Structure 1
Amino acid sequence: MTDINIGISTENRNQIAEGLKRLLADSYTLYLQTHNFHWNVSGPSFRELHLMFEEHYTELATAVDDIAERIRTLDVVAPGTYKEFAKLSSVKEVDGVPAAEEMVDILTKGHEQVVRTSREVLKLAQDGDDESTAALVSDRMRIHEKTAWMLRATRK
């Protein structure tokens, strides 16, 4: 393969990719949690939450692909194993099957964590003059902020 020359230094590409790896791990962990909760939610809010969680994990499935492909575009290998994601993720795993209300709270915190990770990566992208990553991460932040708001609204 030829050397990459997209106007971003090797050092900046590597730093940005490391941040994107964390964002990918957070997003994938949140995807798994959301899918798990979709399968296992029960109670009076079952239908509403079951359908909402499906919308969320479907959106996250597309997001993880976009993030991984951006890492590859920067000429860095994207992580792709549970072991790697567990090391990189700031989203905490949950044991067992919590009650529906607790699922909503856990997912809200997960989306908020992804926003915080996104903010860190956005700064790296801006500092590295990487508008493509900045646009991707900015879009991710907006989606996760909105999703967290929607989840919080179900608890009022």
Structure 2
Amino acid sequence: MAKKASSKSVAPVGSTAPRIDIGISDKDRAAVAAGLSKLLADTYTLYLMTHNFHWNVTGPMFNTLHTMFMEQYTELWNSIDSIAERIRALGHFAPGTYREFGKLSSIGEPTSVPEAMEMVRLLVTGNESVAKTARDAFKLADAANDQPTADLLTQRLDVHEKAAWMLRSLLQ
């Protein structure tokens, strides 16, 4: 008689893919994916804001800020895929619309084009918001013993805390 497979490895009815069995419970994977979804929304929102400021900055610090903003939005753009792919690796769909990002993001968007130093202030606040979101998601990943997500979040924390420091230095 054939041995029956455990329910953890049995695919849902109608599916040919095996269930995810990576040593993290379904509940914990869902919680971590939800935290990463907020991080993805914050990252995308900050990316858009930074790119917008890159296009629209004016004033005596134009060259410095234009270049700095480009470096920052490029880094943000490159990180979006890693965050979304980690959500998928955990077995969940990544948010990917402005509407979803708007609901999930903790970052407010400016309603007009601010002056250069206000752009810098808003980007400091935005980077700090993303860092807080990453730190909250890290707690979930750590509790779930999810090292790949914890590693990703540690890297994101480093990037956002450094960006906030560099931007804040321009305001002193």
Q: Aligned pair 1:2/2:11, yes or no? A: no
2:107 corresponding residue in structure 1? 91
2:151 corresponding residue in structure 1? 135
Q: Aligned pair 1:30/2:53, yes or no? A: no
2:125 corresponding residue in structure 1? 109
CA RMSD of aligned residues (A): 0.5
Q: Which has the higher contact order (CA 8 A, sep 6+)?
A: 1
Q: Distance in 2 between matches of 1:23 and 1:117?
A: 6
1:16 corresponding residue in structure 2? 32
Describe the SS at the equivalent of 2:151.
helix
1:41 corresponding residue in structure 2? 57
Superposition pairs of residues 45-60 of structure 1, within 5 angstroms:
45-60=61-76
Q: Structure 1 length as normaliser, TM-score?
A: 0.99
Deviation at 1:11, TM superposition (A): 0.4
Q: Distance in 2 between matches of 1:8 and 1:50?
A: 43
- Out of 81, 98, 105, the residue aligned to residue 97 of structure 2 is 81
- The runs of at least 4 aligned residues of structure 1 exceeding 2 Å deviation read none
For structure 1, the residue ranges without an aligned partner over 5 or more in a row are none
Describe the SS at the equivalent of 2:95.
coil
* Residue type at the aligned position of 1:148: A
Deviation at 1:155, TM superposition (A): 1.3
For structure 2, the residue ranges without an aligned partner over 5 or more in a row are 1-16
* Residue type at the aligned position of 1:64: I
Deviation at 1:154, TM superposition (A): 1.0
Q: Distance in 1 between matches of 2:69 and 2:114?
A: 14
Q: Structure 2 length as normaliser, TM-score?
A: 0.90
Q: Distance in 1 between matches of 2:65 and 2:18?
A: 48
1:38-78 deviation per Cα after TM superposition (whole angstroms, max 9, x unaligned):
00000000000000000000000011111000000001000
2:10 corresponding residue in structure 1? none
Q: Percent identity?
A: 55
* Residue type at the aligned position of 1:112: E
